[in-house]
Amino acid sequence: MHEAGYLPLPRQCCPESLSLQTCLGFDYGKQRIGIAVGQTITGTATALCTINASKGKPDWEKIGVLIDQWQPDVLVIGLPLYADGTDSDVSKAVRRFIRQLHDRFRLPVHTMDERLSSHAAEQYMKQSSEKLEIDAVAAMIILQNWLGTRQ
């Protein structure tokens, strides 16, 4: 018998999808990048902050500080697509950001369709009493949607 009469669960009873992973979500923009943090075990995300970009170039130092602080297992980036699922005008810049994130930090990077995330962020902010930045809320919604696909 183990402590307090509990037996450990066999490994096969604990699906891989329930393993605890910390995730950082990004809502890329040429002027601002919203960032959120989430957990796979709870399936929830929280808006963190917005960092500025200069001439379309992210502040890599600040992103590095956040990655050091949160130690994410995975990064999730909102991918702007047209209604028919094809790449939008901004998709090329987002894909470049994805490559740079992966090359710099060597973490798995996943994309999530971000259609309607800005509208959902506006609705969330209208209903929330918290003082949040819209780009960080959009990142939270993108990450929350991605986490929802993992459950």
Dihedral angle sign, alpha carbons of residues 61, 64, 142, 34: negative
Domain positions in the chain: 21-150
| DSSP designation for 87 | B
Q: Are strands 57-58 and 74-79 parallel, antiparallel or unpaired?
A: unpaired
User: Within a 13 Å sphere around the CA of 129, how many CA atoms are in the beta-carbon half?
Assistant: 0
79-127 confidence digits (pLDDT tens): 988 878 888 888 889 999 999 999 999 999 999 988 666 666 666 656 6
CATH 3.90.380.10 at 21-150, yes or no: no
14-25 confidence digits (pLDDT tens): 344 446 799 999
Q: What is the pTM of this model?
A: 0.79
Cα distance between residue 20 and residue 129, in whole Å: 29
Segment holding 119, helix H or strand E: helix 117-127
39-50 confidence digits (pLDDT tens): 998 899 999 999
